[in-house]
Chains A and B, each alone.
Chain A
Amino acid sequence: EAQVTQNPRYLITVTGKKLTVTCSQNMNHEYMSWYRQDPGLGLRQIYYSMNVEVTDKGDVPEGYKVSRKEKRNFPLILESPSPNQTSLYFCASSRNVVSPYEQYFGPGTRLTVT
């Protein structure tokens, strides 16, 4: 089954404790992206990757890191989480950035930083 998976689905952590949210897709997609969703703000792009070893900043990259060592995986790293990073995070992938462009979203990771 074609899918995007994220782990963990729920995480409660404390300020400053490094964490990683994993994202994996089994569709051989080139393009992967991370978003955060906050009430009234919609989905905001954190980072995206057009292919292995190619990443770029989205609209809200501060406080986050990513890596793309393999095509299927795109982990999101919070080196020193802060309470303002409490949010719902979605990973997404698409075949490429030209056509078609449909992004398939993972199930989401709800992160709470206390």
Chain B
Amino acid sequence: GENVEQHPSTLSVQEGDSAVIKCTYSDSASNYFPWYKQELGKRPQLIIDIRSNVGEKKDQRIAVTLNKTAKHFSLHITETQPEDSAVYFCAASRTDSSYKLIFGSGTRLLVRP
């Protein structure tokens, strides 16, 4: 079945450094790739998403890149801040038939002050 692999499972960076989280997906028909942030004890919230007709999308300090040929996409956070510390989930979905949203296993990001 469809699968999304996410790496690394944990990531520790110094405040101000960049963080990169990578995901690969198995279903070549996937065309929507959201990223969710989950702070401790809270619900996941969408932070950025990208569709398959776009190679890169930016929103202030965060950006997502997509390589359809290699079936992988990445989240980039620049100038990290302590409040970026959270668990980040990538996900993949196709919007033409099956409407399942398949999540990666999550990356725990720790930003050290």
Is there contact, CB below 8 Å, between B106 and A101? no
Residue of B nearest to A105 (CB): B43
Instruction: Output the least CB separation between B38 and chain A (Å).
Output: 9
A106 contacts the other chain (CB 8 A): yes
Give the segment of A44-52, A62-70, A74-82 that binds chain B: A44-52
Q: How far is the CA of A106 from the CA of B46 in the complex (A)?
A: 13
Interface string of B82-113 (1 = CB under 8 A from A): 00000001010101000111111110000000
Give the segment of A10-18, A21-29, A35-43 that binds chain B: A35-43
Residues of B within 8 A of A (CB): 1, 6, 9, 32, 34, 42-46, 49, 89, 91, 93, 95, 99-106
Closest 6 CB pairs of A and B: A105-B43, A42-B105, A43-B103, A42-B103, A97-B99, A102-B46
Residues of A within 8 A of B (CB): 31, 33, 35, 40-45, 48, 50, 56, 58-59, 90, 97-99, 101-103, 105-108
Q: List 12 A-B contacts (CB under 8 A).
A: A31-B99, A33-B101, A42-B89, A42-B103, A45-B100, A45-B102, A59-B100, A99-B95, A101-B34, A103-B34, A105-B43, A108-B43
